[in-house]
Amino acid sequence: MNTASQQPILKTTDLCKRFGGVFATDNVNLDVLDGEVHALIGPNGAGKTTLISQLSGLLKPDSGRIEFKTRNMTGKPAHKFARAGLARSFQITSLFADMTLLQNVALAVQAHAGHSFNFWRNATLDKKLLDPALSYLETTGLANSAGKQVSEVSHGERRQLEVAMALATEPSLLLLDEPMAGMGSEESNLMINILQKLSGSKTILLIEHDMDAVFTLADRISVLVYGRIIATGKGDEIKANPDVRAAYLGEEANA
Amino acid sequence: MSDHTPATRSPAFWINAALLALLALVPPILFITGQPFWLDVFTRLVILAIAATALNLILGFGGLVSFGHAAYLGLGAYAVGIPTYHALYGGMDAIASFNGFLHLGLAIAISALFALLTGAISLRTRGVNFIMITMAFGQMVFYAIVALENYGGDDGLTIDVRSEFPLISLDNPLTLYAVGYLSLLLVLFIVYKITRSRFGLTLQGARSNEERMRSLGVDCYRYQLVAFVISGALCGYAGFLLGNFTTFISPEMMDWTRSGELMFMVILGGAAFLLGPVIGAAAFILLEQLLREVTIHWHLPFGILLILSVLFFKGGLAGIVDRQRLKGNRQ
């Protein structure tokens, strides 16, 4: 994908977050360009989840600036980020466990459809919610499990549901926090396929440990180590970067 | 949120229907066959069932444990007592009246306003803090009424004249029961409609996973606050009925132990179910009545039974019937 001419949809400037004396996010400058799949990688404890939590409004940065679609979003609450068009999935599956898969996605569709101050009409049979919800379940390979409770489906399917719910808010940027976490290779391949299909039409910021997935999917990769971004570039550049090899890829090769 | 279409009525549906039919028939029959005392018991039962159903909107469907809902019963009852007092003894011309519509309007408006003000603050907290702060607001009303010497303070206030409505007289015990029973059906219908609306689904989503709702772009606070106000207003309505039923009101009826009883009815009956609070209120009132006849130390066996029911009937009495639903709800 040609990313040279594109505008950043998400841009952070000198973002900092510290817990006690530890810089979890240390002057991070990150650009996600419109239309690209941008992967964020880094060893455990590098501060990936802290960073993504700030980028989705669940954590407030200590200093620095977050711009989304050229609007300053620094310090805004999570629901404002979502309203602006930034959807996230969670590393630790975060679903409505007491509902069916269809109800989960329908609720996400409803959340995107505007306010929910309708007290009377039966929303559990509302085609305006159920039809789109079903189509997102199809996109993520879950159409056959639509009527099952979350508690009845496998870990892999729950991860797929995470993606379906993020998609249902029709985001301009999809923030995926380790969508392949805890998956077997078969489930991972299925997820890579789903994400590959999405990559043509969605801008994605992907946090992922699975290197196969990252090099298959990502247009560009940023490497986060000890809260700092030490390199950003295309897959080959990252593989060749000596700092990255020392800090991250080398570690994996030795392991 | 399972869906019972006419073709697939569950056993629970028929049990609920049977319960409501029994409540419609048994008390009037007992009254006509010369047992007016039991009509009184059932009148109190349906009124407290309304209050418990109102509480369940935020406790069961919203996941917010309010420990101050007896305050709304009190506010609703004093919205009958105070205008009636002034209509009899003068003063406060603006509200001095026997007019039932005025009493009802005041009960609902004051309860809604109190819910709005206290909910706006309480809903900034969660968990134990929410329980404590709602209880504190409830006790605030309790002490405020105690301080109102005009209206009897600690000693309470006798309502000498019941709320007046055209065509019907609440002085007739059968009429009063019919009003209470139909009010219960109305409140159940309102809560039923709300829980399936977009509003209700949002509320239940926030109960299930608030962080996820926020990440979907929903400002849960606004929905929870509106639910809190609806719950308070409906509970105030129950208070209006309770005032007309007991005709004697005192701060004691809004003590925190009363809030606890309401909570208990909801949990005993089953907070995940529309009719859970009705079943809970029925079990609570009837058990209290029966044990009272057996022994003056009825609190002890009553307490033991309540503890056992919570331990062994998780999901409440309604949960015994509808195990399938519970399986999903408990995950």
Answer whether residue B271 is part of any domain: no
Q: Tell me the mean pLDDT in the region A131-153.
A: 94
Reply yes or no on whether the pLDDT at B102 is more than 80.
yes
Q: Give me the amino acid identity at B251.
A: P
**What Cα–Cα distance (Å) separates residue A74 from each residue in A13, A177, B220?**
10, 20, 21
**For residues A47 and A24, is the Cβ–Cβ distance under 8 A?**
yes
pLDDT at B226: 98
Side-chain-side CA neighbours of B291 within 13 Å: the count stands at 16
Please check whether residues A77 and A100 belong to one and the same domain: no
- pLDDT for residue A101 is more than 70: yes
> What average pLDDT does this structure show over A59-75?
94
Is some CB atom of chain B closer than 8 A to the CB atom of A161? Answer: no
Q: Around A213, how many Cα atoms within 13 Å sit in the side-chain half-sphere?
A: 29
pLDDT at B271: 87
Structure confidence by residue, pLDDT tens digits, B133-146: 999 999 999 999 99
The confidence band for A252, taking pLDDT boundaries of 50, 70 and 90, is: low
Percent over 90 (pLDDT), chain B:
74
Examine the pLDDT at B33 and tell me if it is beyond 60: yes
Average pLDDT of the residues in B238-259: 95
Please, what is the average pLDDT of chain B?
A: 91
Count of alpha carbons within 13 Å of B20, Cβ hemisphere only? Answer: 19
Contact between A197 and A139 under an 8 Å Cβ cutoff? The reply is yes
Give the ipTM of the model, two decimals please. Answer: 0.84
| pLDDT, mean over chain A | 89
| H-run or E-run covering A204 | strand A203-207
pLDDT at A163: 92
Q: pLDDT by residue (tens digit) across A217-241?
A: 999 999 999 899 999 999 999 988 8
Query: Residue B116 domain-assigned?
Result: yes
Which among A116, A140, A170 is the end of a domain? Answer: A170
CATH of the domain at A79: 3.40.50.300
CA dist., res. B318 & res. B49, Å (int)? 14
- Report how many domains make up chain A: 2
Indicate if A80 and A189 belong to the same structural domain. Answer: yes
* Domain match, A48 and A114 both: no
CB proximity A254 to B under 8 Å: no
A169 touches chain B (CB under 8 A): yes
Whether residue A254 is contained in a domain is answered as yes
Query: In this structure, are A163 and A183 located in the same domain?
Result: no
Neighbours of B136 (CB within 10 A): 14
Quickly tell me which residue has 């001419």 as its tokens. A5
Q: Which pLDDT score is estimated for B331?
A: 33
If one counts the domains in chain B, the total is 1
Chain B residues whose CB is inside 8 A of the A116 CB are: 198-199, 201-202, 218, 223
Cβ of residue A83 closer than 8 Å to a chain B Cβ: yes
> Which of A170, A192, A215 finishes a domain?
A170
Q: Is B52 on the interface with A (CB under 8 A)?
A: no
Check if A199 contacts B (Cβ < 8 Å).
no
Residue B168 lies in a domain: yes
Contact across the interface for B196 and A123, Cβ inside 8 Å: yes
**Residue A250: is its pLDDT beyond 60?**
no
Decide: helix, strand or coil at residue B38: helix
Q: Where are the alpha helices (DSSP H) in B209-275?
A: 210-215, 220-246, 256-269
Rounded Cα distance, B136 and B241, in Å: 25
Q: What are the C-alpha distances in Å from A202 to residues A54, A173, A178, B217?
A: 21, 7, 17, 19
Shared domain check, A176 and A255: yes
How far from chain centre, in Å, is Cα A13?
A: 20
Comparing B231 with A212, the larger pLDDT belongs to B231
> Which of A58, A98, A107 is the closest to B329 by Cβ?
A98
User: Do A177 and A199 sit in the same domain of this protein?
Assistant: yes
Range list of H helices, chain A: 48-55, 78-84, 101-112, 127-139, 155-168, 185-199, 211-217, 235-240, 242-244, 250-254
Name which of A97, A110, A151 is nearest B201 (Cβ-Cβ).
A110
Higher pLDDT, B225 or A78: B225
Tokens 């929905």 sit at which residue?
A: B223
For residue A113, what are the domain limits? Answer: 95-170
Task: Measure the CA–CA gap between B322 and B273, rounded to whole angstroms.
Answer: 9
pLDDT at A193 over 80: yes
pLDDT band at B8 (very low <50, low <70, confident <90, very high): low
Q: How large is the average pLDDT for residues A5-12? A: 85
Ranges A86-100, B222-236, B309-323: which has the least confidence: B309-323
Domain match, A129 and A145 both? yes
Domain boundary among A123, A141, A170: A170
Residue A171 has pLDDT above 80, yes or no: yes
> Are A94 and B212 an interchain contact pair (Cβ–Cβ within 8 Å)?
yes
Considering the domain architecture, whether residues A80 and A7 belong to the same structural domain is answered as yes
pLDDT of residue B1: 43
Find which of A49, A53, A88, A96 to mutate to test the B interface (most B CBs within 10 Å of its CB). Answer: A96
Query: Which among A79, A83, A98 has the least Cβ separation from residue B331?
Result: A98
Are A133 and A187 found together in one domain?
A: no
- Residues A183 and A139 both lie in one domain: no
Q: Which has the minimum average pLDDT: A62-66, A132-136, B92-96, B235-239?
A: B92-96
Q: Which domain holds residue B134?
A: 33-253
Contacts of B249 (CB under 8 A, 6+ apart): B74, B77, B78, B80, B81, B156, B157, B159, B242, B243
SS3 B205: helix
| C-alpha–C-alpha distance, residues B47 and A46, integer Å | 59
Q: Which residue has the higher pLDDT, B320 or B97?
A: B97
Nearest to B197 among A108, A119, A149 (CB): A119
Is A35 strand, coil or helix? coil
Residue A241, in any domain of the structure: yes
Q: Would A90 be classed as within a structural domain?
A: no
Residue A46 near residue A225, CB atoms below 8 Å: yes
Per-residue pLDDT tens for B256-305? Answer: 999 999 999 999 898 889 999 999 999 999 988 888 888 888 888 888 88
What is the mean predicted confidence (pLDDT) over A152-162? 92
CA–CA separation, B54 and B39 (whole Å): 23
Question: Angle CA(B106)–CA(B109)–CA(B111) in degrees, nearest 5?
Answer: 100
**8 Å CB contact of A78 and B209:** no
In this structure, is residue A203 part of a structural domain? yes
CB A109, CB B243: distance < 8 Å = no
Question: Do the chains contact at B215 and A58, CB–CB below 8 Å?
Answer: yes
> pLDDT tens across B196-211, in order?
999 999 999 999 999 8
pLDDT digits (tens, 9 = 90+) for B298-327: 888 888 887 887 788 777 888 877 665 554
